[in-house]
Structure formats: structure tokens, C-alpha cells
Chain A
Amino acid sequence: MAKTVDEIADAMYKLVKDAFGIKKLKPMDLTKAMMELYEGEVDKKTCKAAIKQLIDSGKCVYTYFGGSYVEIPHKEGSANE
């Protein structure tokens, strides 16, 4: 059965959270992981909407380290008070 945006957002959030501090994930990494995990039950459009939801709700943020990544909000090492 087709997965909802909420379900995909939750699954993506778990990935991002588990990867925190270990590996930075790009939006495309998340999309590819979902397509693999839920083969036939999810399309790119749903993945895009799920990322949008994670960002707009503030649960995740975009970060930039040479390229752009999706991470959970945190204070980075270089930040001054």
C-alpha cells in the first residue's frame, strides 16, 4: 500500500537522527533510502513532500558543508555565542 507523507517523514526522521554525528545525509540519500525500504509503495513526490514537512516543522534543518545536507537541529562547532 502507498505510504503517506507522514509515514515517510517519520521514517526519514529516524534515519537522520540515527545518522547524526556519524554520516551527513543529503535529501537525495533520504529519498533513495525510502525508495529502497518501501519499494513500490513510495514515489519521489512523496519523499519531496516529506522532506518539506520535516524542514517546515523545524524537526530537521538544512546544513551546508561543501554541499547541502538534512540534519537534526544542533549547535555546530564553529558557532560563537
Chain B
Amino acid sequence: MSDALPKTPKLDELEKGKWPSFVTEIKMAAKKSPMCRDLLGQLEQSYEEKIGYWKHGGIVGVMGYGGGVIGRYSDLPEKYPNISHFHTMRINQPAGWFYNTDALRKICDIWEEHGSGITNMHGSTGDIILLGTTTDELEPTFSELQKIDFDIGGSGSDVRTPSCCCGMARCEWSCYDTMKACYDLTQAYQDEIHRPAFPYKFKFKFSGCPNDCVASMARADMSIIGIWRDDIQVDRAAVTEYAKNGMDIKADVVDNCPARCMDWDGKEIHIDNQFCRRCMHCINVMPKALAPGKDRGAAILLGSKAPIIEGALLSSVLIPFYKMEPPYEELKDLLERIWDLWCEEGKNRERVGEFIQRVGMGNFLEAIELEPVPEMIAHPRENPYVFYEEYFEEDEGEEEESES
């Protein structure tokens, strides 16, 4: 095959505009990599014919691991022999996505030697995505990556690579050490990440505050979101400063408070903290004046997922406040009770959120031995969906009495 790039008029359209283009990137990589040349060719043909030419491979991986490699084969291997195999490797990213340039260069060097050279930093799972290699190169790539302390991440019916926001490393709002928690649980559940044994995938995501920068609320089966239980910290002088500099505190802060629990008398801000919903709005608008309280921890939520078998779900509260300090014993105990139940009773490809919908929250809580509390609501301003059995029993008793 010649070294010239294939003609790609359709793909070239995607290079126009002021934003980055994956086509430009693949073309750059194609100067060195025959895989990328064939990738451009096949992609152009797909755009032309409106047909996808990738086949799934369900069996490729590295020895001992059940996840982390996503098998792909070209459906046109004669025409594009260099991408006959084009497997993706998910590599567990460091907590908070912190690297030094040395680590990044080493990953790229390994991938130029053993794969297509193109990466996706990072996939929506959080992993480093190494796009495109052959079955024979999987083990050598894995062994090179291990030498620089990187490991494969999750895929399939296992614990997926946990991810977290940058937390205390960069963000003053972080209510617990997200990176430490993410790393701790990643290490604790190595077997569960690499040896798929669940009905379906299970994701953790750790956010340091309710801004939820890793969108754990919508994307993680277990969402661990930082929160405080005392009062929002107020720096009165800084509030005055904001007002002096022209901020309309009534319109921009107070009137947008979803709990309507704030007040501004032109001089001072008052917050009725018992009604505050920890939405972060006021803190985001006046970061110099307001801050999360000092008694910090995390809310543990369960059940979100994107639509596949059933529709999308958001996570809902399981533990309203947890101190989130290592070694996170209570959390791990609870998690293992959830997994035991879901593994035992869950249907194939049923996410834990769907499982809860099927069996009912009341039964689920009873089985994992967690007391219902009023904070366990499906969404704000809705009544609790917990079934309080003892009250019903009392009612029934009374009725029987009046009937007799």
C-alpha cells in the first residue's frame, strides 16, 4: 500500500471550523501509522455508504482479565488489512487525571509501538482509551504498561474503572478527599474490576461537592457526592464587596435559591440553613463570600444509568451523610451487601437501579439491612417512597377493632 493518505472529502468537512478535529488528528497519526491510513479509508467509506463496517469481538483480552479490552474487527479486511483487528484498550487513569509529561510520553510511546498510536483522553468511562491494536499485541502492550505502573480498566459485567473529580487537589469546595477514596476503592476491588461476576456493569464516581463535576448523579450506579451538614460559611466583608462591585445579590443569588431560604436586606445575607438544599448555586455565584460548611462528608446515592434496556435513571439517596474517612468500612460493608443481593436476584443485564425498581425500594432496603429515612426520596419535593410496614400493621389492627 502507498504511503499517501486516502482521499476523504466527506471526512475533510469535519476539519472545518475553529475547533479540534479528530480527522486532523487521525491524519497526523496516519503519517506514521498504516492502521490510521486504513482507518481513514474505512471511515470515509462508511460516511459515503452510510453503513458501519465494524464487527464486535467478544473474546479478546489479556490472560486472567475479563474486562478492559473491547474487541473490534473490520468487516472489510481485504480492502483495509491494517485494521482487520482494531481492538480498544481501556487503561485505568490516575485518580483525578493527574499525570506528569513523562508518564504521558511513555504511554504514547508504548502505543505507537504496539497499536495505532491514536488515543482518546479520556473516554466517558474516565479511562485512558487506546484505540486500535491487534490480538497479538494485547499481551505485549499490557506488559509494557505494567512496567510503568498502569493497569487495564473495566468493561463488561464488572466494577468499571472508578473515577473522581480533582477534589482537594485543586478545589476548595471538596467536602472529602475524592482522589483518596477513588484510589482506595479501586485497590480494594481489583478482583471485581478484572473478573466480571455481576449481572451487569457497576460504576462508582466520586464528586467532592454537589456541583458533581464527574456527573456521578447521572452516570454512576453508586454516586458519592460531597456535602456538608452544618451551615454555609459566610464572609460578610466579602459579601459587601460583591455588592459594592455591582453584583445584584437579590436577583442573581437570593431569587435563584431553589429552597427560597435566603434573604438580602441590602446589607447582609441571611441563610435559613435548615432548608438549604446544598445546591451550590449561591456558593458558585459568590465564591469569595460563601463556602460549604465545616462539617463535611458525602451523600451516598444509588441507581443511576443511561437508557439501554430501560429508560434513564438518576441516583437517589441511600445514606444522607457519611463521614468518608479511610478505610470506609461501613461503606464497603454496605456495598458488599448490595452486590450480594443484586448478584443473587438480579436478572442478566439488569442494572442495580432497575433491580430496585423491580423489587421495590422497601424490599431492597430490608434485604440490605438499611433503615429507611425521610431523605430517601425519588426526587426533590416528592413524598418518600419507602413502605413503612409497621404503620400499616397498626392501621390494620385498628380497623379490625372497629369492625368487631
Contact = CB atoms under 8 A, between A and B. Distances in A.
A63 B59 contact: yes
Interface of A: 26-28, 48, 51-52, 55-56, 58, 61-68, 71, 73-74, 76, 78-81
Interface residues of B, number: 34
Given A28-B199, A51-B195, A68 B67 contact: yes
B229 interface: no
Contact of B197 (A27, A58, A61, A79): A27
B85 interface: yes
A67 B73 CA distance: 19
A55 B84 contact: no
A67 B195 contact: no
B59 A76 contact: yes
A51 B73 CA distance: 28
B57 A78 contact: yes
Interface of B: 55-61, 63-67, 71, 73-74, 77, 84-85, 135, 155-158, 191, 195-200, 343-344, 348-349
Contacts of B59: 61, 63-64, 71, 73-74, 76, 79
Contacts of B191: 48, 52
Nearest to A27: B197
A62 B57 contact: no
Contact of A26 (B63, B64, B348): B348
A67 B200 contact: yes
Contacts of B155: 64
Given A28-B197, A81-B84, A64 B58 contact: yes
Contact of A63 (B58, B85, B200, B348): B58
Contacts of A62: 61, 65-67, 156, 195-196
Contacts of A68: 66-67, 156-158, 196-198
28 contacts: A26-B157, A26-B199, A27-B197, A28-B199, A28-B344, A48-B197, A51-B195, A52-B191, A55-B64, A62-B156, A64-B59, A64-B67, A64-B155, A64-B156, A65-B58, A67-B157, A68-B66, A68-B67, A74-B59, A78-B73, A79-B60, A79-B71, A80-B74, A80-B77, A80-B84, A80-B85, A81-B77, A81-B84
Contacts of A56: 63-64
A79 B86 CA distance: 11
B156 A79 contact: no
